[in-house]
Structure 1
Amino acid sequence: MPQKPKILKQKIAAQSRIFRVEALELEFSNGELRNYERLLGGSRGSVMIVPMLDDETVLLIREYAAGSHDYQLGLPKGRIEEGEDPLQAADREIREEVGYGANRLELLRTVSIAPAYIQHFTHIILARELFPDKQEGDEPEPIEVVPWKLSAWDELLSQPDFTESRSITAISLTRKQFGY
């Protein structure tokens, strides 16, 4: 494995209410100097939950996505709050977004998004043995919950509002877990 570049200088180049851009001056092991920028994520990361109503049915959600300025079908997700571990954050998020708690939570995998540009990790959590428990969240409007059979994978992939790569990855991992 190559030696990581040495960080010679780093500073915040831009900042908004929720985003921070960091400028890096790097020296590679061969002496090459380069400037990079990266979007800094939260230090705790986020969770994406695969809530399984039963061994065949995942609970998807449809909610507004500002990045695409459209409603997107995907999995419940959210950031890990101070003092939470990924499993606690996943349990809180599905109660807020889907209206269920889970007796069994399992980390399937931790993934990154565009690691060349974004410093952020998402923990994909499988939630099983669900029970009704709706809790108040911070969403601006009610979220539509959409039950979907894992066996209807091709149909889900053809939905024009099901585009998020993390949701596609999470359901692919879940299908493998359940032998699809």
Structure 2
Amino acid sequence: MSKIDPAKTLPEITHREIVARSRLFKVERLDLTFSNGEERQFERMAGGNRGAVMIVPMLDENTMVLIREYAAGTHTYELGFPKGLIDPGETALEAANRELQEEAGYAARDLHVIHTVSMAPTFFNAEMTIVLARDLYPQSLEGDEPEPLEVVEWPVSQANALLARKDFTEARCVAALFLAQKWLEEH
């Protein structure tokens, strides 16, 4: 196994500018000089880095709650866990409970951060906090979805069948599933 150098020097950002923008995104070009003198240009999505949450809601010890919603990127309906941005002034756990109510019609009395993942760190400065929610009770808040989301109950014991589905493909959901199973085994 090769050694990782914790003191590796970050490249110097010599210039940055916004090169494209849309209603939702800004693309930033970075001019970089690496410690060995090499110079490169990189592009990345620029953003407010508010963070996001993904919730693995547990209806009981063996039943997860998933949602099925339209995914514009693939122009399909995808099955996955509730998720959303953290609003200004919210903690990750507050955002998780709000998103759970908006998307799945449940609130949780017991919330645990189980991991934080980055989303395509080569292109984004964005993190998603994975939250396990237990002791659920019916509670809805109005969300910003254009249509009602389908709520699907799924047994944890049937995780392999979930992974085999053509509509459960989002990498963050797959990671959340494995992280939740690990957390549940340990607790």
TM-score by length of 1: 0.97
Q: Distance in 1 between matches of 2:39 and 2:184?
A: 48
What's 2:131 paired with?
125
Q: Structure 2: which 5+ residue stretches go unaligned?
A: 1-5
Structure 1 runs, 4 residues or longer, greater than 2 Å off: none
What's the Cα RMSD here?
1.1
Identical positions, percent:
52
Contact 1:40 1:120 in 2 (8 A): no
Tell whether 2:62 aligns with 1:56.
yes
The residue aligned with 2:118 is 112
Separation in 2, partners of 1:124, 1:54: 18
**CA distance in 2: counterparts of 1:41 and 1:158, whole angstroms:** 34
Give a deviation string over 1:46-85, Cα, whole Å, max 9, x none: 1101111011111000000000011000000000111111
Give yes or no for contact 1:61–1:74 (8 Å, CA) kept in 2: yes
- Tell me, yes or no, if structure 1 residue 77 matches structure 2 residue 83: yes
SS at match of 2:50: coil
Matched residue, 1:90: 96
The number of residue pairs the alignment matches comes to: 180
Distance 2:131 2:45 in 1: 24
> Is residue 2:154 matched to residue 1:142?
no
TM-score (norm 2): 0.93
Kindly indicate whether residue 42 of structure 2 is the aligned counterpart of residue 36 of structure 1: yes
Contact kept in structure 2, 1:63 and 1:71, CA below 8 Å: yes
Structure 1 residues 81 and 155: alpha-carbon distance in aligned structure 2, compared to 1, 3 A threshold: same
From 152, 159, 178, the counterpart of 1:172: 178
- 1:82-126 residue CA offsets vs partner (Å, 9 max, x unmatched): 111111110100000000110011111110121111221111111
Structure 1 gaps of 5+ residues are: none
Aligned to 1:161: 167
